[in-house]
Amino acid sequence: MSHGVEQLEFVQEADYVIIGSGSAGSVAAARLSEDGKHKVMVLEYGGTDFGPLIQMPAALSYPMNMSRYDWGFGTEPEPNLNNRQLATPRGKVIGGSSSINGMVYVRGHAKDFDHWDESGAKGWSYADVQPYFQRAETSHGGATGEGRGTDGPLHVGRGPRDNPLFHAFVEAGRQAGFEVTDDYNGLKQEGFGAMEQTVWKGRRWSAANAYLKPALRRENLKMMNCFVRRVLFDGKRAIGVEVQRGDRIERVHARKEVVMAASSINTPKLLMLSGIGPAAHLREKGIDVLADRPGVGGNLQDHLELYIQQACTQPITLYSKLNLFPKALIGAQWLFFKTGPGASNQFESAAFVRSKPGVDYPDIQYHFLPVAIRYDGTAPAEGHGFQAHVGPMRSKSRGTVRLASADPLASPSIRFNYMSHEDDFAEFRHCIRLTREIFQQAAFDPFRGKEISPGVDVQSDDQLDEHIRNHVESAYHPCGTAKMGAVDDPYAVVDPQCRVIGVEGLRVIDTSIFPRITNGNLNGPAIMSAEKASDHILGRDPLPRSNLEPWINPRWKESDR
């Protein structure tokens, strides 16, 4: 496959060509077109995000399971999960995964970003990235004076927390001796408290709604519906993108730069199809090597989680809303007024805690839900119940994204190698036992029925391990496959300005660049990364560094709480 450009004829051109209209691509589209000086083109394969299944927050389980909105990726059989193949949904729609995600907003912990900086992503410490989180958001209900944004495009709010179970969960955490926090996205992540969501005026506030759609009113920003096949080069310089529309293959010219924001699954795939990646793998697939970057498609990380489910003795959970008639009422109330249960993702309480003494910042996350239900929307037969989603935040397991073939239309081969590090099972067993301890607190006395899952008979390490292997699910936070680092790091793919090392005119700005996964859900950090990368692309000085000091538990050496 030649990288020559003799025969290329470009059908469209722009200064900046952005691949993908997801969380990162929408931000870049808005920021790069903002001053009106540059022509910007966004390439998106997915269709419209119009309609209640995407825009209604409570309907979140639907778009994630629809081939119309999701790329439909899945893992290879995972050996440590009894060879289960797990779904790896990525948004194939305007707004990308921010249009099909759970709308949970978590910035990550300050120390996550300090770790990035220390590992070679210089200039991405907490002090450096905090101003970009602030620029992105308008916070509704966040702690004042803690670096929350007041005039950004991304509205971040909280659910009404009408259900008493939301308060029981936070109170149970306090009774178990853990911290509580008024704002885990402020200076104190550690503790139990209200969960934040990207919902505004009752609608899913995706990156498309926040950034892309308002920006598309500008003359200098255009979006093209097409399938991206690869990046085109003149020598080592990226000069455009090869795309497919129907059965026609066309070329889009980038006068300044090509900006990749195609997701941590599709970005490494496109880099490899373009000749950038592990040389032996590319040759094996018959692809000419333009830049040997062994890190492309490596360092793949994710969060896993389990649902710990408990029956509820009072008929106050969402279970009564799962039948056809109540669903129709909720839908009507949402459609006409954008209010009611349909206007929340139902994740309204949360916690970030530390697993043991000597861990200096939280490494376990909780989402609490006042119903016992699966992500695909199916409920267990038990009726009323509640559940906590729990999982470790910093598994040491790493996986890969590889090309299954040189055909751009083929899905990539995804192997997370879940639970492959020796610490993984011990960390998960601790999560299960800790959740049981929290559910046994007095705050749950008025509500607690029997344990639904794992079930009281699942107690020993071996029993818990088998339960984990059979039931652990992805939290859908893949990242790390084109990691940012020092130019002399052989496994780094982009430098701290997000430029792909070894070529020119090409950047990656999505969650692929994360050196290590952050605490919590990744939509917030994805948006922040693109905010910061946009300044790098435009050659602007970064925003002034923050001098805010994050809260670290003074007892972290002695206690887990």
Report, as residue numbers or ranges, the catalytic residues. Answer: 477
Q: What is the 3-state secondary structure (H, E, C) of 266-283?
A: HHHHHHHHCCEECHHHHH
Residue whose pair of structure tokens reads 């825009």 in the numeric block? 55
Angle value at C-alpha 479, between 55 and 143, nearest 5 degrees: 60
Q: How far is CA 198 from CA 139, 255, 499, 559, in A?
A: 10, 35, 29, 33
Tell me the three state secondary structure of residue 196.
Answer: strand
Pairing status of strand 191-194 against strand 349-353: antiparallel
Q: Is 43 annotated as a binding residue?
A: yes
Q: Is 25 annotated as a binding residue?
A: yes
**35 is an annotated ligand-binding site residue:** yes
Tell me if 460 is assigned to a ligand binding site: no
What are 133's two structure tokens?
């989180």
User: Is 480 within any annotated ligand binding site?
Assistant: no
Q: Do residues 287 and 1 lie in contact, with contact meaning Cβ atoms separated by under 8 Å?
A: yes
Give the Cα separation of 243 and 41 in Å (integer).
Answer: 13
Q: Which residues of 220-257 are buried (b: 16+ CB within 10 A; e: fewer)?
A: bbbbbebebbbbbbeeeebbbbbbeeeeeebbbbbebb
Give which of 142, 141, 409, 59 is closest to 269, Cα–Cα: 409
Per-residue tokens: 134: 């602030």
- 338 known ligand binder: no
Q: How many CB atoms lie within 10 A of CB 379?
A: 17
Instruction: For residue 30, say whether it is annotated as part of any ligand binding site.
Output: yes
Residue 33 counted as an annotated binding residue: yes
DSSP-assigned beta bridge partners for residue 241: 231, 252
Query: Exposed e or buried b for every residue in 402-437, given b needs 16+ CB within 10 A?
Result: bbeeeebeebbbbbbbbbbeeebbebbbbbbebbbe
Report the Cα 52 to chain-centroid distance in Å. Answer: 22
* 97 known ligand binder: no
Pairing of strands 248-260, 73-74: unpaired
The CA distances from residue 7 to 3, 55, 258, in Å, are: 11, 44, 20
**Is 331 known to sit in a ligand binding site?**
no
- How many Cα atoms sit within 13 Å of 560 on the Cβ side? 12
34 annotated among ligand-binding-site residues: yes
Q: Is 452 assigned to a binding site?
A: no
32 has binding-site annotation = yes
Instruction: Consult the annotation and say whether 379 binds a ligand.
Output: no
Task: Say if residue 257 carries a ligand binding annotation.
Answer: no
42 is annotated as contributing to ligand binding? yes
Q: Is 466 annotated as a binding residue?
A: no
Task: Name the β-bridge partners of 150.
Answer: 138
Confirm or deny that 501 is annotated as ligand binding. Answer: no
Name the residue among 43, 23, 31, 152 with its Cα closest to residue 100.
23
403 is in an annotated binding site: no
Q: Is 119 annotated as a binding residue?
A: no
3 is in an annotated binding site: no
Check whether 23 is labelled as a binding-site residue: yes
Q: How many residues does the chain have?
A: 561
By C-alpha distance, which of 259, 511, 299 is closest to 402? 299
Annotated binding residue 44: yes
Q: What is the chain's alpha carbon radius of gyration, rounded to the nearest angstrom?
A: 23
Q: Please state the residue numbers annotated as binding site for FAD.
A: 15-44
Q: Please state the residue numbers annotated as binding site.
A: 15-44
